[in-house]
C-alpha cells in the first residue's frame, strides 16, 4: 500500500547489495511512496551485488563511492544534487563491516589495524557523510538522515565482536551531529536499532541462526523483518516525524524491553 508519503522528496541510499539487504527493501518502499534517489555503494560491493537490477526497478542512477573517502563523498553529493535536480531530503546509511569478524578473530585477540578499518567503515563513515552534506549545505530544511544499528551497542552479545563498539560509536555520532544539524539546518538525525535480520552482512556473525530464533522467542511481536525496517525508515523520511531527532529507535518487536519471555522460561524448565 502506498500513501505517497515521500512524493517530491529526493535522497541518497547507501548500502543496497542484494534483495535481502535492508537498504534494498527501503529503496523499493521509498520508490513506491514517490521518492526519487541515487543509489551508492563501494565499488567492490557494486561488483559483488545486483544493484543494477534495483536501479532499473526504481529508475535510479548508481554512483560508486567509498564512504570512508571524503573525495568520493564530495563527488557523490555534488552529482546526486545534479541528477536529482535539487537539495537532498533524505539519506539512509546502511553500512557496516568488521574485518575481525570476517577473519574469525576473537574480541580478546583483535588485530587493531582491522579494528580501525571496521570502525572507519561502520561508524566514522556516518560522520564523514554528514560532514560532507553539512559543509555543502546539501540538505533541505526538515530533511532526515537515518543510520541502521543494533542493540549490541547497549548490551553484550559475545559473537558480535567489535561491531558492538562500532555501533555504539555510530549512535553517539547521530546524537552529536544531530544537535548541530538540527540547530543550523533543521535536519533530523536518527538511528534505527533493528532486530537481527538475515541479510548478507548479518549472516557473517557466528551463531546467527540460533540468535535469530532466540530473539524471535524473546520478542512479544516477533522479530522485525527487513521490510518492517524499510517501512519504519519511510516514516522517518516523511514529514510526519518532523521533530523526532537524535534518537535511537528500537524496531525489534519489543525485544529491547523484555527481560525474559514465557517461551524462553519454558525452554529452560523442560524436563
9 in a labelled binding site: no
Question: Positive or negative CA dihedral for 75, 79, 80, 82?
Answer: positive
Residue written as cell 561508524? Answer: 123
95 in a labelled binding site: yes
For 31-183, where are the E strands, in sequence order? 36-40, 61-62, 88-93, 139-149
d(CA 179, CA 170): 14
21 in a labelled binding site: yes
Of 160, 214, 232, 250, the catalytic one is 160
Residue written as cell 535539487? Answer: 86
* Contacts of the segment 177-180: beta carbons below 8 A, 24+ positions apart: 177/126, 177/127, 177/130, 177/131, 177/134, 178/245, 178/246, 179/246, 180/134
Quick check: 171 and 150 in contact, CB under 8 A? no
d(CA 260, CA 256): 10
Question: Positive or negative CA dihedral for 100, 103, 107, 109?
Answer: negative
d(CA 249, CA 232): 10
Q: Is 160 a catalytic residue?
A: yes
Q: Is 169 a catalytic residue?
A: no
d(CA 263, CA 1): 33
DSSP 269: S
22 in a labelled binding site: yes
Of 112, 150, 214, 232, the catalytic one is 150
Catalytic residues: 150, 160
Residues annotated in the binding site for NAD(+), as ranges?
A: 15, 21-22, 95, 167
- Binding-site annotation, residues: 15, 21-22, 95, 167
Amino acid at each position: 500500500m502506498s500513501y505517497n508519503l515521500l512524493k517530491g522528496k529526493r535522497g541518497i541510499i547507501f548500502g543496497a547489495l542484494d534483495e535481502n539487504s535492508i537498504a534494498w527493501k527501503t529503496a523499493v518502499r521509498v520508490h513506491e511512496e514517490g521518492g526519487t534517489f541515487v543509489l551508492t555503494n563501494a565499488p567492490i560491493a557494486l561488483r559483488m551485488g545486483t544493484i543494477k537490477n534495483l536501479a532499473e526497478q526504481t529508475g535510479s542512477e548508481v554512483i560508486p563511492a567509498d564512504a570512508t573517502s571524503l573525495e568520493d563523498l564530495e563527488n557523490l553529493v555534488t552529482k546526486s544534487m545534479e541528477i536529482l535536480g535539487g537539495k537532498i531530503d533524505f539519506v539512509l546509511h546502511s553500512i557496516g563491516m568488521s574485518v575481525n569478524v570476517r577473519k574469525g578473530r576473537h574480541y580478546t585477540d583483535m588485530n587493531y589495524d582491522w579494528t580501525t578499518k571496521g570502525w572507519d567503515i561502520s561508524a566514522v563513515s556516518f560522520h564523514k557523510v554528514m560532514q560532507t552534506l553539512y559543509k555543502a549545505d546539501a540538505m533541505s530544511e526538515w530533511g532526515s538522515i537515518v543510520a541502521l544499528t543494533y542493540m549490541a551497542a547497549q548490551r553484550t552479545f559475545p559473537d558480535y565482536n567489535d561491531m558492538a563498539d562500532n555501533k555504539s560509536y555510530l549512535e553517539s555520532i547521530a546524537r552529536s551531529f544531530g544537535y548541530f544539524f538540527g540547530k543550523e539546518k533543521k535536519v533530523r538525525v536518527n538511528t534505527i536499532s533493528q532486530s537481527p535480520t538475515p541479510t548478507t552482512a548479518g549472516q557473517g556473525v557466528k551463531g546467527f541462526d540460533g540468535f535469530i530464533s532466540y530473539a524471535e522467542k524473546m520478542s512479544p511481536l516477533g522479530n522485525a523483518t527487513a521490510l518492517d525496517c524499510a517501512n519504519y525508515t519511510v516514516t522517518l523520511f516523511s514529514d510526519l516525524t518532523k521533530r523526532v531527532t537524535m534518537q535511537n529507535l528500537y524496531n525489534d518487536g519489543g525485544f529491547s524491553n523484555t527481560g525474559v519471555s514465557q517461551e524462553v522460561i519454558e525452554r529452560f524448565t523442560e524436563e
